[in-house]
Amino acid sequence: MLTRSAAAKQINAIGVLDIGTSKTACIIVSAPERKGGGAWRREGVRILGFGCKPSRGLKAGVVIDHDGAEQAARSAVMQAEQMAGVTVDDIILAVTCGRLKSRTFAADTRIEGNPVDSTHIERLLTAGRRYAERDGGTLLHLNHLGYQLDDSTRTSNPLGMTGATLAANLHAITVDDAPLRSLLNVVERAGFNAVGAAPAPYASGLGSTNEEERRAGAVCIDMGAGATTLSIFSAGRLHTVDTVAVGGQHVTFDIARALSTPFDQAERIKTLYGTLAGAASEDQEMVAYTLVGEEEPSLHQTPKARIHGIVSNRVTDLLSHIAERIERSGAGHLAAHSVVLTGGGSLLPGLSTFAERILARPVRIAQLQPAAGLSPEWCTPVFSTAVGLAQIAFDPGAGIRRATGPAIVEGPSYLERVGQWLRKGF
């Protein structure tokens, strides 16, 4: 009889894990069937189980308490395993910590009039990986933005073409080594193998946008509890990511500080009365709360309009900061007409209209598309990173993006490469 762990290997199942500041989410996913040697299809991925537990021991994606983070990770995976009916050993992680750095650059190689083949492509990528890690960061993601033969011919798939020089425009994401080590250590202490990692902004962008939007150009803003991340897509490819260490919890902190009320009451006030859709009646409606440290708690009151002001001030500052990051990236023009808000913070009432005024772009709240095996309650912006990670768990082109046709690069998969990179340092 197969053990549940052996059964997971037999059906090629793996766990994806999003360890956030407020929640830890796990999805167990199985690889799509490939009949007759057919190409990998993202829509063939099946979700077997999912779990979600409150996070402990993280701040803005950085581990500050290994024991608490380990317990939350183990509990979330076990919950997913119980639903799936299998246990998993291997985990792929979403990474927010470690000052994610996104950069684009060019690499070139001589081909001396020979037809371009996979060895030329791999030579370019090897040079790109070395260049990306030249400042000591750990390479987390690498994708191409296009190729050029000699000085004129631009193409997305140069295989078989001839010329003297082949150049590639590459986009790399690196992360500081120590915070990544801490995150991987949490997974290993929980009893799992960290076989891969992906930038959380990339995963949440995939989970929150559709293929058509990514081709046309889209900005995805993931408003988490402890951090807000940014990803920009164009022509179906990832162009940049960024992270701001401000999230939904900071709205709660602002309410707690302004009212001198405990954090849990401030969170309740934000959940019940936090809104960006102002109304004239708010001046008259009152919100009750108690003060921190009162020996005999008594109810105090403040107008709903004051809560609205606290929330809108913080969100204005955050979105203004994000707008600056978009312009500073140099890629904002690639996605001038589409902004998607996701993450738990995106559920604030009135946010989309409010954000349109600050970002000067049309804005919508993410609506996750149901996947095979994913229950409706998980089709919410709160779980966009985990759902996006599940989509690419078995994608051999996730690190080097595929064109709409055949794979541009054959050879080791992205996960195998990430595993090799991580094992070098861990």
**Beta carbons within 10 angstroms of residue 413's beta carbon:** 17
Contact (Cβ atoms closer than 8 angstroms) between residue 292 and residue 257: no
Q: Helix or strand or coil: residue 140? A: strand
Contact (Cβ atoms closer than 8 angstroms) between residue 255 and residue 189: no
Lowest-confidence pick of 76-90, 131-145, 154-168, 269-283: 269-283
DSSP letter for each residue of 281-342: GGGT-EEEE--TT-SS---EEEEHHHHHHHHHHHHHHHHHHHHHHHHHHT-GGGGTT-EEEE
Question: What confidence tens digit (pLDDT) does each residue in 175-206 have?
Answer: 999 999 999 999 999 999 988 899 999 999 99
Domains of the chain: 4-97+177-202+368-395 (3.30.420.40), 101-175 (3.30.1490.110), 210-365 (3.30.420.40)
For the segment 64-89, the average pLDDT, to the nearest whole number, is 95
Please give the model's pTM, rounded to 2 decimal places. 0.87
Element (H, E) at 7: helix 4-10
- Rounded Cα–Cα distance for residues 177 and 413 (Å): 22
Q: Please give the pLDDT value at position 409.
A: 30
Which of 55-59, 138-142, 159-163, 383-387: highest mean pLDDT? 383-387
Q: Please give the pLDDT value at position 163.
A: 86
Q: Please give the pLDDT value at position 196.
A: 86
Q: Please give the pLDDT value at position 282.
A: 55
Split at pLDDT 50, 70, 90, the class of 214 is very high
Contact (Cβ atoms closer than 8 angstroms) between residue 170 and residue 108: no
Q: Which residue has the higher pLDDT, 376 or 268?
A: 268
